[in-house]
Amino acid sequence: MNKAQHMDAFLHSFEGEVTGDVIHKVVLQTFGIDLDAVSLLTEAEKEALAAAQDTQTEIETIAASSSRLLPRHVIDSQLTVYNGQITGPAIRAMLNHLFGVNLDAISSLEKSRISLFSKQQWIVQHERDLFVVYTGEGDVDVRVYPTVYYKEQTGMDGLPEDLQIALKGLGYQFDVDMNGFYFVNPDGQAVPDAFKGQTMGAIMATIGNSCSHL
């Protein structure tokens, strides 16, 4: 089973109400991701604050005394419509909407040989990974560069030519300091899932075409 399936199995066997604490625990244990360390996406934060003002829920009190909404409390406010019963796929969709944490996509990276740094933490990282996708704060910018392992195995300091061409086609620019490629969303918002998917797809194509022997 992949990680998403492990999460579903845990939730299926869980007896009791699914709360923000429960979701935090299963995501941390299954994916190694600490939801307490992530931030709400801008639009999701606006929605959460508006909902709190409309319903006078606990989250409003928390928001009034804190500069940052705690992920567990935001999740709890979203769970009220499910009466404590919610499926794994629905939870993953909710987390992606709120925080930009796409657990289904992360689950698909398990054997991709791509390291992923996002939400200020390593999401996926293995010793024999070939390339790194590194997103900055708020996922507004993305960097792609080779791992130390790739450099040692190939004797190359930069990305393969076919991957460079593919990334340029997506709007990436060469970054001489890291010998990789860099993209920043001109809107100042998190890069959309579709763009992330195109980036991962380009890297996976290169790995499949010219790096599978490494």
Q: Are residues 89 and 164 in the same domain?
A: no
**If you write DSSP's letter for every residue of 21-48 in order, what string do you get?**
HHHHHHHHHHH---GGG----HHHHHHH
pLDDT score for 173: 97
Q: Are residues 97 and 114 in the same domain?
A: no
pLDDT score for 110: 85
Q: Are residues 89 and 114 in the same domain?
A: no
Q: Are residues 177 and 202 in the same domain?
A: yes
Joined tokens for residue 167: 């990334």
Q: Are residues 120 and 165 in the same domain?
A: yes
Instruction: Classify 181 as helix, strand or coil.
Output: strand
**In the listed set 101, 131, 150, which residue is the last one of a domain according to the structure?**
101
Q: Are residues 115 and 170 in the same domain?
A: yes
Q: Are residues 11 and 90 in the same domain?
A: yes
Domain enclosing residue 85, as ranges:
3-101
Look at the chain and report how many structural domains it folds into: 2
Q: Are residues 84 and 117 in the same domain?
A: no
Q: Are residues 55 and 118 in the same domain?
A: no
Joined tokens for residue 74: 């935001």
Q: Are residues 18 and 43 in the same domain?
A: yes
Spell 185-211 as b/e; 16+ CB within 10 A means b: beeeebbeeebbebbbebbbebbeeeb
pLDDT score for 6: 94
Query: What pLDDT tens digit does each residue of the chain (214 aa) get?
Result: 899 999 999 999 998 889 999 999 999 999 999 998 888 876 766 666 665 555 555 545 554 444 456 788 888 888 888 876 789 999 999 999 888 899 999 998 888 999 999 988 999 999 999 999 999 988 899 999 999 999 999 999 999 999 999 999 999 999 998 899 999 999 888 898 899 999 999 999 999 998 988 9
**In the listed set 44, 72, 101, which residue is the last one of a domain according to the structure?**
101
Secondary structure (H, E, C), 123-153: EECCCCCCEEEEECHHHCEEEEEECHHHHHH
pLDDT score for 179: 92
Q: Are residues 127 and 177 in the same domain?
A: yes
pLDDT score for 66: 47
Positive or negative CA dihedral for 73, 98, 36, 62?
negative
Contact 44/59 with Cβ under 8 angstroms? no
Output the pTM of the full model: 0.81
pLDDT score for 203: 97
**In the listed set 101, 117, 140, which residue is the last one of a domain according to the structure?**
101
Q: Are residues 81 and 131 in the same domain?
A: no
pLDDT score for 81: 81
Our CA angle for 71, 104, 192, nearest 5°, is 75
